[in-house]
């Protein structure tokens, strides 16, 4: 996480190293210096090391960002699981988000990979108890859960307030990009207060 906060410093140092290397190359080219070839080789090594450092730092930052922002959902498989999770969330005075999903659902996958890990969305979701009902198997429990919750399309996102009351107007069926979903969560936060 420290590397993530020092990203501008890393970029500045790398750019300065590259500019100094280019300036040194220009100086060597313009002025007669013995062993020009050795200077150029040494400078090439420095530029190469700076480039490797820069790209490895960027890859590390990408990995850190994906690891730290992905929210964790609690899997539920039945109406009883949902009731237990809702009661527990109400006792903690937390609202609930239930993601009804399926493995074959492309928009559901986009929510998991793009929307939920988005920094703004992940920050807002931290206030919720997050539940996931994966109904890919189409078991009798899955069908009963979908019928009780009136799920007719995927993905379906359902909300409950701090007291365990379903917020039917907050329901989302279909895909929203991260900015629209973040705005939707903001509106729900105002409603839940």
Show pLDDT as tens, one digit a residue, over the chain (193 residues): 444 456 677 777 778 877 877 777 777 777 776 766 776 777 777 777 777 777 777 777 666 665 556 789 999 999 999 999 999 999 999 999 999 999 999 999 999 999 999 888 999 999 999 999 999 999 999 999 999 999 999 999 999 999 899 999 999 999 999 999 999 999 887 666 5
Query: Quick one: tokens of 101?
Result: 């999903």
Whether the predicted model's global pTM rises above the 0.75 cut: no
**CA 113, 118, 122: angle at the middle one, nearest 5?**
105
Query: Quick one: tokens of 25?
Result: 């190359």
Q: Which long-range contacts (CB under 8 A, 24 or more apart) does 54-63 make?
A: 54/10, 54/11, 54/14, 57/3, 57/7, 57/10, 60/3, 61/3, 61/4, 61/7
Any alpha helices (H) in 92-165, and if so which ranges? 106-110, 119-125, 140-149
Class of domain 74-192: alpha beta
């Amino acid at each position: 996480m420290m590397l993530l906060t020092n990203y501008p410093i890393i970029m500045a140092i790398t750019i300065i190293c590259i500019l100094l290397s280019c300036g040194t190359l220009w100086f060597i080219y313009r002025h007669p210096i013995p062993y020009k070839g050795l200077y150029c080789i040494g400078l090439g090594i420095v530029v190469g090391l700076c480039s490797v450092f820069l790209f490895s730092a960027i890859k590390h930052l990408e990995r850190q960002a994906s690891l730290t922002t992905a929210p964790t959902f609690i899997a539920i498989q039945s109406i009883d699981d949902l009731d237990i999770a809702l009661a527990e969330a109400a006792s903690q005075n937390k609202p609930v988000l239930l993601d009804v999903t399926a493995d074959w659902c492309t928009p559901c996958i986009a929510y998991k990979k793009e929307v939920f890990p988005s920094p703004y969305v992940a920050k807002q979701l931290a206030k919720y108890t997050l539940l996931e009902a994966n109904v890919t198997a189409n078991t009798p429990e899955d069908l009963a859960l979908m019928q009780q919750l009136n799920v007719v399309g995927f993905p379906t996102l359902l909300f409950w307030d701090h007291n365990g009351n379903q917020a039917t107007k907050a329901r989302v069926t279909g895909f929203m990009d991260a900015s629209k979903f973040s705005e939707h969560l903001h509106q729900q936060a105002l409603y839940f207060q």
